[in-house]
Structure 1
Amino acid sequence: MKIEWIEDFLALTEAGTFSQAAEWRHVTQPAFSRRIRQLEDWLGVELIDRHSPRLTLLPHAQAYEASLRDWLAHLYALRGRIRADAAHGPRAILTTQHTLTVSYLPRLLRHFRQHAPQARLQVRSSDRSDCIRDFQRGDADLLLCSELQGSPLLVDCAEVHRVQLGTEQLVPVCATDRFGQPIFDLENQTRLPLISYEPSSFLGGVLSSPYLLDLQRHYDVELVCETAFTIGIRELLMAGLGIGWLPHGLIESDLEAGKLASLLERLGGPMLVVACYRQSGNGASAADQLWKLINARPPTV
């Protein structure tokens, strides 16, 4: 099987005709048709309904077109990584949760680029639980994550090293009116719409008691949305659809610009810690370089 046969088939599905696809692939139409037939012979099935007056994929070809496209993309990406690793050495892999990817990670990456521009790094952004799992399985060299203050991760693992990079407040906020004041009057309102985290998520567990419990004791709380997607919660709060807690690093510019108002004095919020983890004797030399920078003077959270 030749990769060009897969590329021919995908070009055919996009072009809609054999003649146009052959032109795109810079071959004659008879040669292009032979390559499609060679792919079908290798697969052992026909892909094209040749009895139809217009180009029609058979049902199984339609069902697997996206999978073939994904396979080809992964193959080319793998080729690129192999070539880069052969030329420059293996990369360090850092895994981090989505919220930190938006808030703290850009500062950390600029720090890396400034002080170790030759160190190659790949970032994987995932849900917090997936990041921890990938790190523990050895699929990542570095783990950057948020923790509840006083409750560090992986404390029982002697081969795992931890650096605390700073703390940030989880702040209850809501949108502001045209005067820059909170749109919800906590003194006089009894009904409060809540944009909340899923109970099974990290931040959902952190807030469940006493913060959400106290809120439910003093107000008639209406749950508007429940999600683990922190960036989505920010957008809903900015739209004025409720109140909710967000990490300060994510909304610092919104608070300064008056787009969001802090309700911290009234509702309170837990303190989070941003920490980085590294497994000893694991990974590429690039990971060692970056770990030294993290232990030296990293940017503040």
Structure 2
Amino acid sequence: MKIEWIEDFLSLIEAGTFSQAAEMRHVTQPAFSRRIRQLEEWLGVELIDRHSPRLALTPYARTYEPTMRDWLARLYAMRSRIRADAKHGPRAILTTQHTLTVSYLPRLLRHFRHRAPEARLQVRSSDRRDCIRNFQRGEADLLLCSELEGAPLFADREEIERIPLGVEQLIPVCAVDQQGQPLFNLGGECHLPLIAYDDDSFLGEVLANPYLLDVQRRFDTELVCETSFTIGIRELTLSGLGIGWLPHGLIEEDLTAGRLISLLDSLGGPKLVVACYRHPEAESAPLETLWQLMHDRPPSI
């Protein structure tokens, strides 16, 4: 099987016809058709429904097209990493959740660049659960994540090294009216629209009890949105849709500028610890350098 056959097949889907796809791939149409046939023969199934008057994929092709795209992207990414490592030397891989990628990671990266510009680092941003799984599988050298205060990850794994980098407050906030006052009045029997995290997400579990439960007991509440995307909750809160709990580092500028207002005194919120983990058996010069920099006065949370 040749990689170009997969590329041909994906080009055919994008072009919509054999003739246009052949032109995109800079081959004659008969040669292009032969390559699609060769891919089908290698797979043992037909990808194109040739009884249809227009280009139509078979059920197998529709099912596995995303997998083919993902496989091809991963293959080229691996080639790029191999070439970069061969040219510039090894690098450390850090995995972190989406929220920290926006709120804290930029400051940490500036710290790294200022103190050790030669230390190479690759960042992989994903859901917190996926980050933890990738780290446990050895697919990342470093794990940067948020934890509930007093409940560190891997508490039963003494061999995994941990550096606590700081504490971050999760703050309930809402947009403001034209007078700069909270858009939603917490006095009296008010109606509070809430923008919540999915129940099975980390922040959803952290807020469920006692914070969200307490708010639901005290006020007439309505769940207007439920999502696992912290950045999305920030945007919806700014739009005035409702009240959401957000990490201080993500909304520090919004609070300072008066676009959002804190309701922490009234509604409360948990504190999160931002920590970094590494496997002791993972060794490389960039990893050792970056790990030491996190010990040595890292930027505040």
TM-score, normalised to structure 1's length?
0.89
Is residue 2:296 matched to residue 1:296?
Answer: yes
Q: What aligned pairs does 1:212-251 form with structure 2 within 5 A after superposition? A: 212-251=212-251
1:124: which partner in 2? 124
1:194: which partner in 2? 194
Residue 293 (structure 1) shift: 1.0
Q: 1:299 to 1:8 in 2, by over 3 A?
A: same
How many percent of aligned residue pairs carry the same amino acid?
A: 72
Residue 193 (structure 1) shift: 1.8
CA deviation digits over 1:122-168, x for unaligned, max 9? Answer: 22222223322332332221111112223333233222222221222
1:172: which partner in 2? 172
Q: 1:258 to 1:64 in 2, by over 3 A?
A: same
Q: What aligned pairs does 1:197-212 form with structure 2 within 5 A after superposition? A: 197-212=197-212
Q: Is the 8 A contact 1:92 1:283 kept in 2?
A: no
Name the SS of the counterpart of 2:96 in structure 1.
strand
Residue 77 (structure 1) shift: 1.6
2:150: which partner in 1? 150
Name the SS of the counterpart of 1:275 in structure 2.
strand
Q: 1:206 to 1:64 in 2, by over 3 A?
A: closer
Q: 1:10 to 1:130 in 2, by over 3 A?
A: closer
Q: What aligned pairs does 1:276-287 form with structure 2 within 5 A after superposition? A: 276-287=276-287
Residue 52 (structure 1) shift: 5.2
Give, as a single letter, the amino acid of the residue that structure 2 aligns with 1:293. L
CA deviation digits over 1:262-296, x for unaligned, max 9? Answer: 11222222222211112212143321111111111
TM-score, normalised to structure 2's length?
0.89
Residue 180 (structure 1) shift: 1.0
For 1:214 and 1:53, locate their aligned partners in 2 and report how far apart those are by CA, in whole Å: 62
Name the SS of the counterpart of 1:233 in structure 2.
helix
For 2:128 and 2:55, locate their aligned partners in 1 and report how far apart those are by CA, in whole Å: 46
Q: What aligned pairs does 1:61-72 form with structure 2 within 5 A after superposition? A: 61-72=61-72
CA deviation digits over 1:38-67, x for unaligned, max 9? Answer: 333333444445555554444433443333
2:273: which partner in 1? 273
Name the SS of the counterpart of 1:133 in structure 2.
helix
Q: CA RMSD of the aligned region, Å?
A: 2.4
Count residues in correspondence: 301
For 1:236 and 1:277, locate their aligned partners in 2 and report how far apart those are by CA, in whole Å: 32
2:114: which partner in 1? 114
For 1:100 and 1:285, locate their aligned partners in 2 and report how far apart those are by CA, in whole Å: 25
Name the SS of the counterpart of 2:282 in structure 1.
coil
2:35: which partner in 1? 35
For 2:59 and 2:137, locate their aligned partners in 1 and report how far apart those are by CA, in whole Å: 39
Q: 1:259 to 1:56 in 2, by over 3 A?
A: same
Q: What aligned pairs does 1:63-102 form with structure 2 within 5 A after superposition? A: 63-102=63-102
Q: 1:42 to 1:267 in 2, by over 3 A?
A: closer
Q: 1:70 to 1:156 in 2, by over 3 A?
A: closer
For 2:67 and 2:156, locate their aligned partners in 1 and report how far apart those are by CA, in whole Å: 42
For 2:32 and 2:61, locate their aligned partners in 1 and report how far apart those are by CA, in whole Å: 18
CA deviation digits over 1:243-268, x for unaligned, max 9? Answer: 12211111111111211111122222
For 2:207 and 2:55, locate their aligned partners in 1 and report how far apart those are by CA, in whole Å: 57
Specify every segment of 5 or more residues in structure 1 that has no aligned partner in the other structure, as ranges: none
Q: 1:38 to 1:135 in 2, by over 3 A?
A: closer
Moved over 6 A (4+): none
Q: 1:154 to 1:32 in 2, by over 3 A?
A: closer
